Amino acid sequence: MKLLLKALREGLGRLIVLIDWIFSPKKVKRTQTVQAEIDKQVESLKIYQFYACPFCVKTRRAIKRLNLPMETRNAQSGQFRAELLAGGGEVKVPCLRVKEGDNITWMYESSDIIAYLDKRFG
């Protein structure tokens, strides 16, 4: 039963990924200078995520729409999962890692992440 639910969730997640791919959001256009400045700022942001998680798809759509070349880190297993747990305190995705100088913050909740990105880059 547990396995069936997991398979259903994974299947639904992949369907959402497919729909996202078909109806991909349009990227915002900026001048070269402004985009270059934003690209630089985005280097300090990393998104921890799962490929087929609906909340991650929603967040990735916002990242694409805002034209942010952000590194995505797969937290399904391995090093990035361990980093997320150690840094943020729980394995829940999406999670935005924000580095400001020596200070690192971990932002959970897709709606909060999107609101933050919209405010900063929208």
Ligand X SMILES: N[C@@H](CCC(=O)N[C@@H](CS)C(=O)NCC(=O)O)C(=O)O
Nearer to ligand X, 66 or 95 (CB): 95
In contact, 106 and 89? CB cutoff 8 Å: yes
Which residues neighbour 108 within 8 Å (Cβ) at sequence distance 6 or greater? 88, 90, 92, 94, 95
Q: Which of 51, 109, 116, 120 binds ligand X (CB under 6 A)?
A: 109
Residues β-bridged to residue 100: 103
| Residues in region 19-78 near ligand X by CB under 6 A | 50, 53, 55
Residue choice 92, 115, 116, 120 for contact with ligand X (CB under 6 A): 92
Position 121: which residue type?
A: F
**Is residue 91 close enough to count as binding ligand X by CB under 6 A?**
yes
Q: Is 81 in the site for ligand X (CB under 6 A)?
A: no
Kindly list the residues in this chain that would bind ligand X in the complex (CB under 6 A).
50, 53, 55, 91-94, 109-111
